[in-house]
Chains A and B, each alone.
Chain A
Amino acid sequence: MTTTPTTATYLEDVEVGECATGTAGPVGPTGHTGPVHGAHVAVAFAASGLAIGEDVESSWRHLAPVQAGSELTFEVTVTGWRRTPELGQGVVVRHVRVTDSDGALVQVGRTTTLVPARSAVDDGAERVGRAFGTRPWATALAERLDGDTVFTTETSTWDGTIGIAFGDHEAQFRIYRGKVLEAVSRTLSGPTFTVVADEHDWVDLLTGPVNDFSRRAMLDQFHVRGNAYEYLRLTAALVALVDQAREMAHAGRTA
């Protein structure tokens, strides 16, 4: 995860994993005291200098009251990036953490923004390393896993399917005796287990400085759906999978 501001105007200047921080002046109407409505927080976000285009969707989760006059800090992480079919613009998804003047986390949000492209080209293949959860990403990762000695050894006696759920998106890896037979969004018999986390936690893990999957799992950022025994059995294989996904994410915009 980088900390460079995402003040880009064009889609090409935005990358999954980028993080930016902005502040706004006192929130709420002048002279108002007590908690303010969520709409005022949205106004403050718009004034924070973090806008990159036209928001087409946003959702917020309120964790604590926001007091009028508080100076909010917005921390934004890009969690999704894709071009629209006509290629001339793109959709950027961002996770937003809102803290108040005391540093308390008061709100989290997810925004979806239309961002104009500098040029209408299909650069999906170049960006596959950070297209987490997509089928091209799963296919590229599967190729890497087949060449990873740790992963192939750890799954050499295994027959099953690993699911990786990025928020609402899921990639499934059908594995038999150390070989990834198929990497798709849905396998015929479904996953043996699925590793589940919010998009921004996956992005932090896969673009951050170290592979701290185990620590994040202990912190309950990641959890398992399905056969938990098999999940535990593949502990080392999952660490190897994350290692490969991280290498792919850090290999620039190539697989």
Chain B
Amino acid sequence: MMHADYIEVGGTLSFVLQEGEGTPVLLLHTAGQHGVQWRHVQSELASLGYRVVVPDLPGHGKSEPAVGGPIRDLGDYAAWCEELIDTLGLERPFVVGCSIGGRITLDLAARRGDRLAGAVAMAAHGQRDSHPRLTVRGLERELVDSAAPSRTDRTYFGTKAVVGASVPAETSELIALMHRREDPAISSSDLIGWTTHDLGDALDSIACPVHLVAGTDDLWVDPEDVARTAERIPRSVLSVIEGIGHYPMEEIDGFADTLHGWIKGLGDR
């Protein structure tokens, strides 16, 4: 049975959705989005024996804004997730995230991998982009509303552009329509966080098993960067998925089963 709570985390009244019983799995969304990205995954995953926990990060979705304004340091989100895990009493959870959620997942793995069962980081890696498409200067400009024309159109078409070629057109359309509901101030701050985040040598000592996932059609994340991160993490596995873009959990039909397989695989490592 799905239930939702408003919980005080990091000084922010935060929206957290939970479903199922069993091994806890924390699911993290992408930049500017919120937990609704997991709506087609959470129930089926719960039925496979998991306690599924889907928060809206501070400032996103139904959660109130972060104390001090939009967050620009993905490490702050990781600290917020640590507090959420402790508040909910999640014992050795798996953490799964995509894009900035994937980076936060890796940050959590670096912070407390010894207390995680494993991590799945999709469309993410642990260093700066080797071929960055984003700059802090450009994102700062996007934060000025008068300098950022047609933002919703650009989010809509930009989202479609990074969905994989194997995804049906109606699914791609739905993803883009949902994504353009974003708050640009939050999205751009999140992306500043992406642009500046770097786990550096912390990757070498991640204590939990990690599954890294890259899509061949993802324009934002170079699979080579993901492979470099995978090489550094002691117990890691890399999947590069043909025809999938930046949002595997929204693009892959029956993703709960796919994720279930990845999580089981982590248990074997």
A232 within 8 A of B: yes
B128 within 8 A of A: no
Instruction: Select from chain A the residue with minimum beta-carbon distance to B147.
Output: A229
Instruction: Select from chain A the residue with minimum beta-carbon distance to B163.
Output: A215
Given A218-B133, A218-B219, A219-B219, verify A235-B157 contact (CB < 8 Å). Answer: yes
The complex places the Cα of A239 from the Cα of B149 at a distance, in Å, of: 15
The complex places the Cα of A214 from the Cα of B153 at a distance, in Å, of: 11
The complex places the Cα of A167 from the Cα of B82 at a distance, in Å, of: 54
A37 within 8 A of B: no
Instruction: Select from chain A the residue with minimum beta-carbon distance to B220.
Output: A218
Tell whether, in the assembled complex, residue A214 and residue B149 are in contact, meaning their CB atoms are under 8 Å apart. no
Residues of A within 8 A of B149 (CB): 229-230, 232-233
A148 within 8 A of B: no
Chain A residues 206-248 with CB under 8 Å of chain B are: 212-215, 217-219, 229-230, 232-236, 239
Residues of A within 8 A of B160 (CB): 214-215
Given A215-B161, A229-B149, verify A235-B219 contact (CB < 8 Å). Answer: no
Tell whether, in the assembled complex, residue B219 and residue A236 are in contact, meaning their CB atoms are under 8 Å apart. no
CB distance from A224 to the nearest CB of B (A): 13
Count of chain A residues with a beta carbon within 8 Å of a chain B beta carbon: 15
| CB contact between B150 and one of A212, A213, A233 (< 8 Å): that residue | A233
Chain A residues 17-44 with CB under 8 Å of chain B are: none
Tell whether, in the assembled complex, residue B150 and residue A214 are in contact, meaning their CB atoms are under 8 Å apart. no
| CB contact between B157 and one of A229, A233, A236 (< 8 Å): that residue | A236
Residues of B within 8 A of A212 (CB): 161
Residues of B within 8 A of A239 (CB): 157
Chain B residues 88-119 with CB under 8 Å of chain A are: none
CB distance from B1 to the nearest CB of A (A): 40
CB distance from A243 to the nearest CB of B (A): 12
A-B contact number at CB 8 A: 35
The complex places the Cα of A103 from the Cα of B133 at a distance, in Å, of: 26
Encode contact with A along B146-165: 1 for CB under 8 Å, 0 otherwise.
01111001100110111000
Tell whether, in the assembled complex, residue A234 and residue B150 are in contact, meaning their CB atoms are under 8 Å apart. yes
Residues of B within 8 A of A232 (CB): 148-150, 154
CB distance from B141 to the nearest CB of A (A): 10
Tell whether, in the assembled complex, residue A214 and residue B161 are in contact, meaning their CB atoms are under 8 Å apart. yes
Residues of B within 8 A of A215 (CB): 160-162, 219
The complex places the Cα of A241 from the Cα of B97 at a distance, in Å, of: 37
CB distance from B70 to the nearest CB of A (A): 22
Tell whether, in the assembled complex, residue A214 and residue B157 are in contact, meaning their CB atoms are under 8 Å apart. yes
Residues of A within 8 A of B154 (CB): 232, 235
The complex places the Cα of A54 from the Cα of B158 at a distance, in Å, of: 43
The complex places the Cα of A103 from the Cα of B162 at a distance, in Å, of: 25
Tell whether, in the assembled complex, residue B150 and residue A236 are in contact, meaning their CB atoms are under 8 Å apart. yes
CB distance from B185 to the nearest CB of A (A): 17
Known: A212-B161, A215-B161, A239-B157. 11 other contacts (CB 8 A): A214-B157, A214-B158, A217-B161, A218-B158, A218-B219, A219-B219, A232-B148, A232-B149, A235-B150, A235-B154, A236-B150
Interface residues of B (CB under 8 A from A): 133, 147-150, 153-154, 157-158, 160-162, 219
A-B contact pairs, 19 of them (CB 8 A): A212-B161, A213-B157, A214-B158, A215-B160, A215-B162, A215-B219, A217-B161, A218-B133, A218-B158, A218-B162, A218-B219, A219-B219, A229-B147, A232-B154, A234-B150, A235-B153, A235-B157, A236-B157, A239-B157
Interface residues of A (CB under 8 A from B): 212-215, 217-219, 229-230, 232-236, 239
Instruction: Please give me the 7 A-B residue pairs with the lowest Cβ-Cβ distance, nearest first.
Output: A215-B161, A233-B149, A214-B161, A214-B157, A235-B153, A236-B153, A235-B150
